[in-house]
Amino acid sequence: MEPERHGQPDIFSMLTVLDQDVVVIRLFGDLDLGSAASLRTCLAEAVGLRTPPRIVVDAEGLKFCDSTGLSVLMGGLAAVRAAGGRLALSGAHGRFARMLRITGLDTELPIHDSVAAATAHLDKPAD
């Protein structure tokens, strides 16, 4: 069971690394209306780093995500697909994972246990 949220939100931050031909974006803190624009910019930049783009969004350090953050992720997925690439999600847990399942978005953006598993998914031929 997750603890109740009281007080100040966790500051949102990202770390982007290039692991061979995969861009890994690690998320930390709270992804919400106030921080969504920075993720939107990061995803747009990541799409242009490799052709075709191969991106893993690692949500292991994400403490909270609201509908705005979810919308940014789905917009990023659309941009990656439009560029002929693939995007995978790793480490989603708690309320965020439940929100993906409840909305059915986990069928568009399947959750992988680790960055390595998400990268392996990117290596498989597209369905």
User: Distance (Å, rounded) from C-alpha 17 to C-alpha 69?
Assistant: 20
Q: Which domains does the chain have, with CATH numbers?
A: 17-66+96-105+112-122 (3.30.750.24)
pLDDT, residue 6, reads 56
pTM for the complete prediction? 0.90
Each residue's pLDDT tens digit, 8-66: 668 999 999 998 899 999 999 999 999 999 999 999 999 999 899 999 999 999 999 99
User: Distance (Å, rounded) from C-alpha 89 to C-alpha 57?
Assistant: 5
The bridge status of strand 86-90 relative to strand 111-112 is parallel
Each residue's pLDDT tens digit, 72-116: 999 999 999 999 999 999 999 999 999 999 989 999 998 999 999
